[in-house]
Amino acid sequence: MSLRLAVIGAGAVGRSVVELAPEYGHTVTALADSRSAAVDPDGLDAATVFDRKDAEGAVGAADPEDALAAEYDVLVEATPTTLGDAEPGFSHVQAALEHDRHAVLANKGPVAERYADLMALEAESAGTVQFEAAVGGAIPILSTIGDFGPEQITAARGVLNGTANFVLSRMAAEGLGYEHVLAEAQDLGVAEADPAFDVEGTDAALKFVILANVLGDEDQIYSLADADVEGIRSIPASALDLAAEDGRTIRLIGEATADGVRVGPRLVPQHDALAVTGTRNIVQFETVNAGQLHLSGRGAGGPETATAILSDVGRLE
């Protein structure tokens, strides 16, 4: 079945959703960035809207609110993650659910910071909330939990921030200092100009908070404030050298266990499954009856994250 999508957010992820939607058999009827919107009940043409955005800085002549008022079946929330009240992303999702539409999020804010509010809205709505794209990009982490059964998984651990992993694995491989590798990562587009969100562990923590909420009981809800978070800025090259002498390395590891959510640099064996290199992500589930389960792949990027969004949309049909 073809569904009509309203895409809010026209960054790398929103853009890829608009471009890939036809391949998945869906129509994008509205697209909004922070200042403008394009609305067409018959479907937007990706090339037209992005040519306009590239040339004029706006996706269309309409106001962003017009996209929320457009005809659609699924709202795709792909605006940048915000903390605390998680606005404006939360209100976008709220608008969709209150109109009994579905909401699919790539935005971690509403799921990590206001999980209880989000679930309450969903309970009142005929629409469904999905957020596979918020955790681990293209890797089907949440759908695996759904299939496996959250009660069958006792803990999740792993690497869910490609930037921090790139920095640590380059430091280890080349013996270079943090600042040097970070500058290189920024040149390659792996790290943002302001890398704080990634290297301080916030991004990974939000993902493990989401995992803790999905895996845990409804009476124990986590937000970022509940997580024990430490970043990688303080790790000198000498620490990676000493780790390597001992057959180990350092990775920014997140954990969602019965003890809560913890993210920080940890020593892991060099050949451990969790010691992935570059921007690769991995998550390890501890299961009740089947030992460990590992899922690995690309955890970020426009097309990668868009595939997770479009898989979520597919599950709504």
Partner 1 sequence: MVDAGDAETEAATTDDAETEADGERTDGGERSQTHTIRLELVDKPGELLSALHPIAENGGNLLSIFHERGNLTPRGHIPVEVDVECPPERFETIVDALRAEGVNVIQAGAERYGEELTLLLVGDIVDTDLSDTLQRIESSTDAALADLSLSAPEGRGGASSARLRLATRTGRSDEVFEHVRQVADEKDLNVVEPLVEVAE
Residue appearing with tokens 């457009």: 70
User: 278 to 307, contacts with partner 1 by CB under 8 A?
Assistant: 284, 286, 292
Does 216 participate in binding partner 1 (rule CB under 8 A)? Answer: no
Query: Other CB atoms closer than 10 Å to residue 219's CB: what's the count?
Result: 5
Measure the CA–CA gap between 195 and 104, rounded to whole angstroms. Answer: 26
Region 116-155 residues binding partner 1, contact defined as CB under 8 A: 154-155
213, two tokens: 């909420």
DSSP result, 218-241: TT----GGGSEE--STT--HHHHH
Is residue 176 a contact residue for partner 1 (CB under 8 A)?
A: no
CA distance 167 to 162: 9
Q: How far is the CB of 279 from partner 1 (least distance, A)?
A: 20
Distance of CA 267 to the CA centre of its chain: 25
Rounded Cα gap, residues 193 and 67, in angstroms: 30
Pick from 58, 69, 173, 237 the residue near partner 1 by CB under 8 A.
237
From the CB of 86, what's the least distance to partner 1, in Å? 29
Identify whether the C-beta of residue 207 lies closer than 8 Å to the C-beta of residue 108. Answer: yes
215 binds partner 1 (CB under 8 A): no
CB of 293 to partner 1, least distance (A): 12
Residue 207 interacts with partner 1 (CB under 8 A)?
no
Measured CA to CA, the distance from residue 50 to residue 10 in angstroms comes to: 9
Please list the active-site residues. Answer: 207
Site string for partner 1, 247-266 (x = CB under 8 A): -x-x--x-x-xxx----xxx
> Shortest Cβ distance from residue 248 to partner 1 (Å)?
7
- Contact with partner 1 (CB under 8 A): which of 116, 246, 290, 317? 246
Angle CA 177–166–250, to nearest 5? 70
- The site for partner 1 (CB under 8 A) is made up of 154-155, 157, 230, 234-239, 241-243, 245-246, 248, 250, 253, 255, 257-259, 264-268, 272, 274, 284, 286, 292
